[in-house]
Amino acid sequence: MNLLVTGGCGFIGSNFIRQRLLETGSPLARLVNLDALTYAGNPANLADLAGDPRYVFAHGDIGDATLVTRLLAEHQIDAVVNFAAESHVDRSIDSPEPFIQTNVTGTLRLLHCAKQYWLSLPEPRRSAFRFLHISTDEVYGSLAPDALAFTEDHNFEPNSPYAASKAASDHLVRAYQHTYGLPTLTTNCSNNYGPYHFPEKLIPLVILNALEGKPLPVYGDGRQIRDWLYVEDHARAIWLVLQQGRPGQTYNIGGLNEMPNIEIVRTICSLLDAKSPRADRASYTAQIAYVQDRPGHDRRYAIDCAKIRRELGWSPRESFATGIARTVDWYLAHRAWAADITASRYARERLGVKG
């Protein structure tokens, strides 16, 4: 298989690529990673794979139709996995337009290029081709405390510009399957965590702020509930959907770990108290600081992943207890990776430099 992965230098994409190239007996002949290297794209996530002859990096945007068309033909791509997206809710509230540009317009252009390429393929390659779009549970909106978890049939009710942009892209993927017959697949996942997570997100932010003696910001009362999915479990699920999923279908992927944000923060503090104690031996919980809640903050997400378990036999291997311990250990062992991002990415952004 020749695979085109978009946004592969980001958090979930880089974990997927690592898993696919490092797995014994991988069927990949070539994996092309197309990434625009905006602020959350980090080539260091995949630096140790640079010498793998199967791996090709292409610097560019999914909205560049000329580039995408060339990559598809040149590398005789058999499947596209689209991770490329702007994904931070707070940033979407501050500035929605980049989210529309990448998540909606970019996905539309990528779909169009994939459709034109797919139509040019001879059989049986045409029938075997797949376009897998990676999306989020945020398209479904917010759940009441006692409501049933999101299924694939749940209405879309996005509540942030980010969620709205992802909902729009999901609809475009569906339209290209229904209208043109392009063999598409969509996955909607819950909150991911694990290695290589960009430091502005909750879990890595809490770990790194704690170690640096900074406040641990908690929105509102901290009782917002999320379903936490270890990123390596998610990567396995994506691969299963790509190989065995039914074209035209959506698969929800969840970690089966619903937990309030404040409990996430306290759990991390407890692990750090044991693994890397403060100099004064006080608990890291002393650094927790409640801050003004995010506008329109959804109270609860929860994923019903019965469909992917039933059809493809997938279930998460990591409990939250094992996954968060592995995550804390990774960040303790990779302080330099995080420090480099903090120094270079945010500095470039403050100067108005893209990427």
Question: What would the DSSP string read from start to end of 284-320?
Answer: GGGGEEEEPPPTT---B--B--HHHHHHH----S--H
Closest CA to 68 of 111, 104, 28: 111
Active-site residue (options: 137, 227, 233, 304): 137
138 is catalytic: yes
Residue given tokens 């696919």 in the structure block:
20
Active-site residue (options: 138, 227, 298, 318): 138
E strand or H helix at 141: none
Q: Taking a C-beta distance cutoff of 8 angstroms, is the pair 191, 227 a contact?
A: yes
Q: How far apart are CA 3 and CA 346, in angstroms?
A: 31
162 is catalytic: yes
Q: Taking a C-beta distance cutoff of 8 angstroms, is the pair 302, 252 a contact?
A: no
E strand or H helix at 35: strand 30-35
Please name the residue ranges forming H helices in 75-157.
89-94, 97-99, 107-120, 125-128
Examine residue 98 and say whether the peptide bond preceding it is cis (omega within 30 degrees of 0): no
Active-site residue (options: 162, 251, 284, 301): 162
Task: List the catalytic residues.
Answer: 137-138, 162
